[in-house]
Each structure stands twice: as structure tokens, then as C-alpha cells.
């Protein structure tokens, strides 16, 4: 049996919004993962480094954590922000 | 030509009330069809952390019931399906149209391994985590979903085919189409539950604009073991909050937003969350801004007093406005009702205790006119003698489809519905003899 994806592609397109959203997510994902390559960081540290709003970084970071790309480490000295690191 | 199926009772909605009513009737030998519009059974209760006032684990109570419902030989469940055109032909003869939406996954073959999720390149907001994190376009709804089967969000799918390539069970099927089934039943139970108030309708609270203003359901998700974050954190910057405010009656008892009635559960779920937060974040201050505390149920007032003893601060105050100040913190401007003075207080996170509303579209499922009360809940024809009976003979209501109520009352209501239906069906059987 052939792949059914080829059948649906004949009748259905992909909206531009889906393509743009996918591009944006994957770009931010790469930026966050690259940022964490050198050392573990907090959300504000990542946001400052990759120059994105804090809430955008939090959302994507937590999504990456959900899918097992990164993990939480220790909390900082002020008990305010967790450090995040790449999952080996 | 579409298929046709016959059952004794159609239960619309597979939350705690629908399951309870279905199980009670199935255990008496009746054949039950449950139709659930969501991808999983379990309703809203399956997403909660603990229940009040006992602080029992919500999932631990609901998942055995979910399992029992799913495995019962007298119960058939259609998830991701809707029912329409419910037409009473005569007594004990209802016809309806069931529409089964395509999951693009062969349910019987899917093992819930989630390899498709790993392969999917698309991320959109996860509605089961109340948008706090993302999910993939192909996804198992949540870890304790039943059925634990993937589904493809075709509207957000990039049609890359990666899921189909990696699926070890060959269960991705993009050729699936909507399926229609003609249903014949003797009785109908409406157990459609409630919807949550949309807090963007009160712009002065800043929900959606100020990221550290969250709903109580978002906080609830942060308090469950399958939480979206690694701890209770602020969505704006991932900071551990240490001064959290609750705003009660956000969208309840408020004529200006079209919901003048009390939602019955917000005081108690907020007090519950406050206690859980004090466990999760021992150094945090929790303040509850309230109009009246309605702790009317068994053990509720003791639970309220316990939260005070634990250090939760209660302020009788009406919130006028929430503003964002430095570092994502929030300034609450409120009328201190005890002193009559307008005051301000700073917090680093605000939880809106959003009210509950009647679900839309219940009456449009029926060809006959289903009467609703002034707040769009299903009208109970005789609330004292037959509390579950709707205005159409043979149609019953269970749980929050009839009005705001907590979980124990929903279960009681479902018990009442199943008892009334059993009587109704028995009367029909006796008549046939």
C-alpha cells in the first residue's frame, strides 16, 4: 500500500499560516538549543542572548522540555529562576 | 448509505456525569451509547489536580471510572464525534445522526507510542495544557487520555508525511473521512458539562496581554503531576512566583459580562489551589480577593478555615484594574470593601478564578424545542419530583448541563438521572409485556 499522505495532498493544500508557524517554531528551537550548547541558562539569560521576548522563550523552552530536548537543572541562588540544559 | 445502530440510551458527553449515568444504567443491563466531542473521555475532571475539600487526587478518582466505562460490555463510546437531529418519533423511539470526525489514525491499530509526535515538525498551542506549552500537529491528547490514541490536527498539519513514515503500526491514514451513523435509542441523557468564562471579555484584568495573569485552569495544570512546566512558574519569564493573588468572581455574579449567577465552585477551587501552592512553594504568599466566600458544602467551611490557618490572606475586595509594572509584576487596584477605601497592592502573578457557563448548542441538537433556563442551562421540568427530566419526555439531564455544581453534586445528579431513566425504561418494558 502506498503512503496515504500522497492521496490527501491531491485534494488539500497547506495554509501559509501553518508554513510560517512551522518555520518560526523551528527557528526559535534552533536558537534556544544553540544557546544552551555552551552552558545551562535561565529564561532571561536565553532571551537576552537570542533577543526574543521572555514569554516567547518560556513557551518554546517549555515545549522543548516537554518533548525531551532539554531539562531543568538547579534553581539560581535567589530561588527565582531555574537553569535549563540540553538533555544528553 | 450510512450505518445504523440501536441502543437503549444515548448519553451525550463523557465527563464525570455522563460516565456515572452510563455506568449505572449499563450495570442494570441497558445498552448505552456515549458520544463525546473531544478526543478523550473524562471531561474536565481528568485535567484537575486534586478535588476539594478532601484533596484526593482527581485523576486517581476519575481514571478508574474512565477505564470501567471504556471496558464495560454494555457501553459503546464514540469519541471525537457529535450528535445532531435528535428526533422523537414516539415514546421510546428517538432517532439521531452521529457524525464521527476523522482522526486520520486507525484507532484500533495505534499503540500510543508517540513516535509520530517526535517526527512531527509542527508545533501549535496545546489546548489540554491551556496554551501554556505547545503540542505537535499529530498528538496523543494527554498522557492519561482514553483512548490513548493519536490524532492529526489536519488544520495545522504541514502534510509532510513524517508521521506516516515513522509509525511502526502503520496506523496513520490520511484517507479517513467524516462518517455518519443513524442512531435509534429509547432515551437521551444530556451530560454536556460546562464551558469556562473567557477572561478576555474583561479587558481591565489584562488576561492575554499581561502574561503573568493566568486563569485558574492554567494554574490547575501547573499543579498536576503532568504539568506543562517543571514547577509552578510565571508564563512570562519562567520565574518562581512568590506573591500570588487570586481574583474571585472573574466572570461570575457579573451582569456586565452576561453571567449574573454564582458559579458555585470558584471559591473552593481557589482555596484548594492556594493550599496546594503553599505546599509547592512554601515561601510564597497567597492572597485571595473575594466578594463573599461561599463555602456551603460538607467540610467546605473547615477547608476555608484551614487555608487561613495555613497563612492564606483573604481580602474582601473588588478588583477594578490590573496593570503590569516592572519585571512583569502586577499592580491590583481594588476597593477594600471592609473599609470602603480604594487601595493598591503588588503581586508577581495573578490567577483569575474564572466562572463557568452553559455550553452552547445543546438545544440545536434536538428537533423538538428543548427548553433552557434563563442562563442557558437545560431546564429541569420539575426540580423537586423529577430533577433530571427535561421538557421533552424521555430526555434527561445530568451534571453541570443543568447548572453550576461541584463534582460530588454532579455525580449525585447523574445518579438521579440514571434512576429516573431506569424507571422510564422499565415502564416501557412493562407496557410491552
Q: What is the pLDDT of residues A55-70, one digit of tens each?
A: 999 999 999 999 999 9
Closest among B129, B149, B130 to B139, alpha carbons compared: B149
Cell 445522526 belongs to B97
Record the cell numbers describing residue B156, joined without a space.
495545522
Q: Is the pLDDT confidence value at B287 over 90?
A: yes
Q: Report yes or no: A62 at the B interface, CB cutoff 8 Å.
A: yes
Domain membership flag for residue A8: no
In sequence order, which residues have a C-beta less than 8 Å from that of residue B193 and are 6 or more positions away?
B13, B15, B17, B43, B44, B359, B399, B400, B401
Quick one: which of B86, B84, B77, B95 has its CA closest to B38? B77
Is B235–A59 a contact, with Cβ atoms under 8 angstroms apart? yes
ipTM, 2 dp: 0.95
pLDDT of residue A1: 52
Is A1 inside any structural domain? no
B158 at A interface, C-beta within 8 A = yes
Q: Taking CB atoms and an 8 Å cutoff, what residues of chain B touch A43?
A: 237-239
- Substitution target in A10, A54, A73 with the highest count of B β-carbons within 10 Å is A54
How does residue B2 score in pLDDT terms, banded at 50, 70 and 90? confident
pLDDT at site A67: 95
Enter the CATH code of domain B196-356: 3.50.50.60
Is A61 a member of any domain? yes
CA angle B196, B51, B302 (to 5 degrees): 110
pLDDT of residue B1: 58
* % of chain B at pLDDT higher than 90: 97
pLDDT digits (tens, 9 = 90+) for A76-87: 999 999 999 999
Q: How confident is the model at residue A2 (pLDDT cuts 50, 70, 90)?
A: low
- Alpha-carbon distance of B179 to B117, in angstroms, equals 25
In a domain, A32, yes or no: yes
Do the Cβ atoms of B157 and A3 come within 8 Å? no
Interface check B117 vs A, CB under 8 A:
yes
Residue B138's beta-bridge partner residues?
Answer: B152
Long-range contacts of A22-26 (CB under 8 A, 24+ apart): A22/B121, A22/B122, A22/B123, A22/B158, A25/A60, A25/B122, A25/B123, A25/B134, A26/B121
pLDDT tens for B66-111 read 999 999 999 999 999 999 999 999 999 999 999 999 999 999 999 9
**Average pLDDT, rounded, for chain B:** 96
CA-based nearest distance A3→chain B, Å: 7
H or E stretch including B317? Answer: strand B313-324
Cis-peptide, bond into residue B147, ω within 30° of zero = yes
CATH class of the domain comprising B3-100+178-193+359-432? alpha beta
pLDDT for B82-91, tens place per residue? 999 999 999 9
> Is residue B63 helix, strand or coil?
helix
A4 touching chain B per CB within 8 A: yes
pLDDT at B432: 74
pLDDT band per the 50, 70, 90 thresholds, residue B430: confident
Half-sphere exposure in the Cβ direction for B185 (13 Å, CA) = 30
pLDDT of residue B347: 98
Q: What is the pLDDT of residues A22-42, one digit of tens each?
A: 999 999 999 999 999 999 999
Mean pLDDT along residues A14-19: 96
List, for residues B320-333, the tens digit of each pLDDT value: 999 999 999 999 99
Interface contact B237-A43, CB threshold 8 A = yes
Rounded distance between C-alpha atoms, residue B93 and residue B363, angstroms: 18
- Is B228 in contact with A9 (Cβ distance < 8 A)? no
Whole-number pLDDT of residue B205: 98
Q: Does the residue A3 lie in any domain?
A: no
Mean pLDDT, rounded, for B44-68: 95
CA–CA separation, B30 vs B8, rounded Å? 6
Cell of B238: 519562567
**Region B194-222: what's the mean pLDDT?**
97
- List of chain B residues whose C-beta atoms are within 8 Å of the C-beta of residue A87: none
| Domains B102-177 and B196-356 are alike in CATH topology | no
Predicted pLDDT of residue B429: 83
Mutate to test the interface with B, among A15, A18, A74 (most CBs of B within 10 A): A18
pLDDT, one tens digit per residue, over B123-149 is 999 999 999 999 999 999 999 999 999
CB neighbours of residue B175 within 10 Å: 10
Q: Which structural domain, as residue segments, surrounds residue A61?
A: 16-86
How many structural domains does chain A have?
1
- The CATH number linked to A77 is 1.10.10.10
- Please give the CATH architecture assigned to the domain spanning B102-177: 2-Layer Sandwich (3.30)
pLDDT, position B300: 96
Q: What is the DSSP letter of B230?
A: S
Domain boundaries, chain B: 3-100+178-193+359-432, 102-177, 196-356
Amino acid at each position: 500500500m502506498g503512503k496515504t499522505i500522497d492521496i490527501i495532498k491531491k485534494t488539500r493544500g497547506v495554509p501559509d499560516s501553518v508554513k510560517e508557524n512551522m518555520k518560526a517554531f523551528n527557528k526559535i528551537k534552533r536558537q534556544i538549543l544553540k544557546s544552551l550548547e555552551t552552558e545551562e541558562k535561565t529564561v532571561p539569560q536565553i532571551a537576552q542572548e537570542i533577543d526574543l521576548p521572555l514569554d516567547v522563550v518560556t513557551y518554546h523552552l517549555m515545549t522543548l522540555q516537554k518533548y525531551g530536548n532539554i531539562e531543568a537543572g538547579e534553581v539560581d541562588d535567589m530561588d527565582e529562576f531555574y537553569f535549563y540544559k540540553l538533555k544528553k | 448509505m450510512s450505518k445504523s445502530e440501536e441502543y437503549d440510551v444515548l448519553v451525550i458527553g463523557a465527563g464525570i456525569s455522563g460516565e456515572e449515568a452510563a455506568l449505572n444504567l449499563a450495570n442494570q443491563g441497558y445498552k448505552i451509547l456515549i458520544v463525546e466531542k473531544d478526543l478523550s473521555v473524562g471531561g474536565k475532571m481528568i485535567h484537575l489536580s486534586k478535588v476539594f475539600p478532601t484533596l484526593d487526587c482527581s485523576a486517581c478518582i476519575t481514571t478508574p471510572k474512565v477505564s470501567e466505562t471504556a471496558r464495560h460490555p454494555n457501553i459503546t463510546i464514540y469519541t471525537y464525534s457529535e450528535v445532531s437531529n435528535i428526533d422523537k418519533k414516539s415514546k421510546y423511539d428517538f432517532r439521531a445522526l452521529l457524525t464521527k470526525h476523522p482522526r486520520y489514525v486507525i484507532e484500533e491499530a495505534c499503540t500510543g507510542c508517540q513516535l509520530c509526535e517526535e517526527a512531527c515538525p509542527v508545533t501549535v498551542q496545546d489546548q489540554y495544557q491551556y496554551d501554556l506549552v505547545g503540542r505537535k500537529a499529530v498528538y496523543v491528547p494527554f498522557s492519561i487520555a482514553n483512548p490513548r490514541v493519536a490524532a492529526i490536527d489536519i488544520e495545522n498539519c504541514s502534510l509532510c508525511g513524517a508521521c506516516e513514515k515513522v509509525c511502526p503500526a502503520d496506523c496513520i491514514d490520511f484517507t479517513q473521512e467524516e462518517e455518519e451513523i443513524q442512531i435509534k435509542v429509547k432515551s437521551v441523557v444530556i451530560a454536556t458539562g460546562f464551558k469556562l468564562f473567557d477572561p478576555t471579555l474583561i479587558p481591565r484584568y489584562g488576561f492575554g496581554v499581561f502574561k503573568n495573569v493566568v486563569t485558574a485552569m492554567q494554574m490547575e495544570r501547573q499543579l498536576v503531576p503532568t504539568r506543562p512546566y517543571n514547577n509552578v512558574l510565571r508564563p512570562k519569564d519562567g520565574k518562581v512566583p512568590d506573591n500570588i493573588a487570586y481574583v474571585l468572581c472573574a466572570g461570575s455574579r457579573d451582569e456586565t459580562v452576561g453571567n449574573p449567577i454564582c458559579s458555585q465552585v470558584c471559591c473552593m477551587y481557589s482555596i484548594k489551589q492556594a493550599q496546594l501552592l503553599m505546599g509547592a512553594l512554601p515561601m510564597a504568599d497567597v492572597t485571595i480577593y473575594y466578594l463573599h466566600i461561599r463555602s456551603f458544602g460538607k467540610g467546605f467551611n473547615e477547608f476555608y478555615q484551614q487555608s487561613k490557618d495555613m497563612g492564606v490572606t483573604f481580602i474582601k475586595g473588588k478588583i477594578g484594574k490590573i496593570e503590569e509594572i516592572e519585571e512583569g509584576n502586577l499592580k491590583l487596584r481594588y476597593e477594600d470593601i471592609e473599609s470602603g477605601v480604594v487601595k493598591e497592592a503588588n503581586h508577581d502573578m495573578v490567577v483569575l478564578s474564572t466562572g463557568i457557563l452553559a455550553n452552547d448548542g445543546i438545544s440545536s441538537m434536538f428537533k423538538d424545542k428543548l427548553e433552557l433556563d434563563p442562563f442557558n442551562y437545560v431546564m429541569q421540568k420539575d426540580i423537586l419530583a423529577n430533577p433530571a427530566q427535561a421538557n421533552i419526555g424521555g430526555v434527561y439531564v445530568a451534571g453541570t448541563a443543568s447548572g453550576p455544581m461541584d463534582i460530588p453534586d454532579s455525580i449525585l445528579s447523574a445518579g438521579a438521572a440514571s434512576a429516573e431513566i431506569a424507571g422510564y425504561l422499565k415502564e416501557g418494558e412493562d407496557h410491552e409485556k
